[in-house]
Amino acid sequence: MSEQQDRFNGDTRVLHRQAVRTPLPDADAERLFHRNMMAVADARERKADLLADPDVPLLAAYEAELDRIASTFERRLQRIAGDDYETAAIAYHRGERDDRIGALAAYYVEGLWRVQQRTTVTDMLYSPLILRYPDSFTVNIRFASAYATPESVLYESPEHSTDDLDDDHAETYYRESHYSQQQAAEYIRETAAIIREEFPHPDESSFDDRKYGGIVAAGGRRGSVFSDMLTDVEPDPDRFSEPISETTLVDEGPEAKRTENELFPHSDVVH
């Protein structure tokens, strides 16, 4: 996708103040949504396991998470636009088509391109916002010019450090770095439980217990310092007044602005 991705590089228009809204018309749709959210929780627990393992480089844990995010985007693109989602996205970007499928493809391709840059780009915070409503759910793909939020846990990666330390200081640095990774792993594992609590199984919960739920996450790095954050979000019950029958782009909700102000008030945000 290199040619198409280059065309989307820096094109913030497809993300700006928008989200993807997907209907939940029946039990099967709810089960699929739940399964996808449990995959997110599982991925966080896997990242925590890798991060806590002293024999696994931090970059391996980081790249495993990015691969999971990229795979999620690619599956959504294929469900929405088929195998030719790249063609649909670039045609929308060029103004050759102006339809729902093209807009959705462009939205996710832009998000995918930016996610794939995170292994080499610093000071770019990825902060998705996922909200469940009675008849649908929304996904906001957001990136901010920052590496952490006030609530983030920070951890150090010796593999990314450019400091030239003597043996004594290097040993101390590696020991402290590993400790920070273990602390982060514990936090990441704990926050995976938030996802499970916010999005209960439709066959094991009442509708009242599951009709609203939400999470916001944020992850990034600056040099050798990595960050992670995830917390619950309360959806606005008055956001939508009408149901939808197919996945579509919508304006962001008040929850997006609220979490933006709380998490990165002084950063430029690509929505």
The kind and range of the H/E element at 63 are helix 58-81
pLDDT in tens, 39-87: 899 989 999 999 999 889 888 888 888 888 888 888 889 999 999 998 9
Determine the average pLDDT of the residues in 22-50. Answer: 94
CB 159 within 8 A of CB 47: no
CB 51 within 8 A of CB 61: yes
Report how far residue 233's alpha carbon sits from residue 258's, in angstroms, rounded to the nearest whole number. Answer: 10
Q: In the prediction, which pLDDT does 1 show?
A: 44
Contacts of 72 (CB under 8 A, 6+ apart): 36, 39, 40
3-state secondary structure (DSSP) of residue 211:
coil
Nearest residue to 141 (alpha-carbon basis) of 32, 7, 12? 12
Model confidence band, residue 113 (pLDDT cutoffs 50, 70, 90): confident
CB atoms near residue 210 (< 10 Å): 19
3-state secondary structure (DSSP) of residue 232:
strand
Residue 73, burial from CB neighbour count under 10 angstroms (0-12, 13-18, 19+): buried
Model confidence band, residue 162 (pLDDT cutoffs 50, 70, 90): low
State the virtual CA torsion across 196, 199, 19, 79 in degrees, nearest 10. Answer: 90
Where on the phi/psi map is residue 82: left (φ > 0), alpha (ψ -120 to 50), or beta?
A: left
Determine the average pLDDT of the residues in 86-93. Answer: 89
Give domain limits for the chain: 2-270
pLDDT in tens, 196-238: 999 999 999 999 999 999 999 999 989 889 999 999 999 999 9
- 125-126 and 143-144 strand pairing: antiparallel
Mean pLDDT of the chain: 88
- 129-133 and 136-140 strand pairing: antiparallel
Contacts of 39 (CB under 8 A, 6+ apart): 68, 72
